[in-house]
Structure 1
Amino acid sequence: MEALKKLFVEFLQAPTQENFLKVRNAVLATEEFDPYTDAIDGVPKMMEAGELEQALEVMKHALFPNLVLSPGAHLNIAFLLHKLGREKDAAFEHHISQLLQEAIEETGDGTEARPYLVTRTSDEYDYLFAHDLEAKGQALAKSPDGTREHDVLTTKDGGQIWFDVTDIRKVLARRMESDGEASE
């Protein structure tokens, strides 16, 4: 995990596409990575109950490897820090969220020919949130040559935004295979 953290710091220091993709590849290769982790599902209830410090700890604990590249996770951490009066830390987390959003957007243009690369499907909804868009539908599509898989989000205004989820699907297949072997 230390190597992953080092790569992430390198990305923060030099937020290039190359550094972003290095972190992304390291996350995807980590055995513990779960693109659908439920580790933060209890955070909204903690926030409603005013348990902000506890919610912040849960968020921070879930960052590596599962949420480190999630713009939404960093935005939520920024919000919690703001609510706790830690404005400098909140501003830094907000900045990280923006860097990640920009890095995802630099991977493509959201079309079928050049879909955005995401690490989690929640990144797709972070994209919509950042652009004040709302999803009307979602479909899975294969590339014409059958080598890539895409989530296609249709927005309420009728637009379509394409996201490459090939790597996420490979991670899920690897995890299912590993879980199957463990249960034998």
Structure 2
Amino acid sequence: MATYAELLDVYLRDPDPESLRALREAILEAPNFRPDLEITEMIAPMMSVGDYAGAVAAVHGLMPGAIFSPSAHAALADAQRGLGNPEQAQRESILAQAALDSIISTGDGTESDPWSVLRTSDAYDVVLASGKTPRSQVAVGNLDRIVCTDSTVWFFEITTELARS
């Protein structure tokens, strides 16, 4: 079996549905994968007091289950900047954007073609990256509907069954 790093590298070199599916299947099978992962809330106390090394260690401790979480890579980028590591911060920023782009590639955010995410926080990452503010979230069948303060409505499918399908 390919390693997580190899699967990520394959996807980054050729971001197509097959390489994304292989990467996501591996992430879903990670022993510490959590669809309810909330990295930003977890490391906010460390970041607020300048404990950037602690934040990096905390996020790394969530790997491989947190691989390709936009929040995880954005948090690592912020922490690496705080540590004075611009190259590592840039790499993590690139991974955060690639993770967001991968979600956007899965649909158009409509009810008939929702975006597929691995974690609830991934959906919020998309909303926040768009510059919008989420107002509410509600389940609609097997989808999550997020309504923003400007009345934008987007649909997400939390995909936790890839590895089993």
TM-score normalised by structure 1 residue count: 0.80
Structure 1 Cα separation of the partners of residues 62 and 39 of structure 2:
6
| Larger displacement relative to structure 2 (36-45 or 105-114) | 36-45
Structure 1 Cα separation of the partners of residues 135 and 48 of structure 2:
28
| Change in CA separation of 1:162 and 1:39 when aligned onto 2, cut-off 3 Å | closer
| Change in CA separation of 1:157 and 1:35 when aligned onto 2, cut-off 3 Å | same
Residue by residue, what CA displacement relative to the aligned partner does 1:131-156 show, whole Å, maximum 9, x if unpaired?
Answer: 001111111011xxxxxx10000111
| Larger displacement relative to structure 2 (72-81 or 13-22) | 13-22
**Superposition pairs for residues 85-164 of structure 1, below 5 Å?**
85-142=84-141, 149-164=142-157
Q: Which amino acid aligns with 1:122?
A: S
Q: Which amino acid aligns with 1:154?
A: V
Q: Which amino acid aligns with 1:96?
A: L
TM-score normalised by structure 2 residue count: 0.88
Partner SS, residue 62 of structure 1? coil
Q: Would the aligned equivalents of 1:7 and 1:19 in 2 still touch at CA under 8 Å?
A: yes
Residue by residue, what CA displacement relative to the aligned partner does 1:61-112 show, whole Å, maximum 9, x if unpaired?
Answer: 21312x1121121011111111111111111110111111111101000000
Displacement of 1:39 in angstroms is 7.1
Q: Would the aligned equivalents of 2:138 and 2:144 in 1 still touch at CA under 8 Å?
A: yes
Identity %, equivalent residues: 28
Q: Which amino acid aligns with 2:156?
A: F
Equivalence for 1:146: none
Q: Would the aligned equivalents of 1:40 and 1:59 in 2 still touch at CA under 8 Å?
A: no
| Change in CA separation of 1:42 and 1:104 when aligned onto 2, cut-off 3 Å | closer
| Change in CA separation of 1:137 and 1:64 when aligned onto 2, cut-off 3 Å | same
Displacement of 1:53 in angstroms is 0.8
Displacement of 1:30 in angstroms is 3.3
Q: Which amino acid aligns with 1:93?
A: E
Displacement of 1:44 in angstroms is 1.4
Structure 1 or 2: more helix by fraction: 1
Moved over 6 A (4+): none
Q: Structure 2 stretches of 5 or more lacking a match?
A: none
| Change in CA separation of 1:40 and 1:64 when aligned onto 2, cut-off 3 Å | farther
Q: Structure 1 stretches of 5 or more lacking a match?
A: 143-148, 175-184
Equivalence for 1:47: 47
Displacement of 1:159 in angstroms is 1.6
Displacement of 1:22 in angstroms is 1.2
Equivalence for 2:15: 15
Structure 2 Cα separation of the partners of residues 91 and 12 of structure 1:
15
Equivalence for 1:179: none
| Larger displacement relative to structure 2 (50-59 or 149-158) | 50-59
Displacement of 1:48 in angstroms is 1.9
Q: Would the aligned equivalents of 1:40 and 1:58 in 2 still touch at CA under 8 Å?
A: no
Q: Would the aligned equivalents of 1:15 and 1:99 in 2 still touch at CA under 8 Å?
A: no
Over the aligned positions, Cα root-mean-square deviation in angstroms equals: 2.2
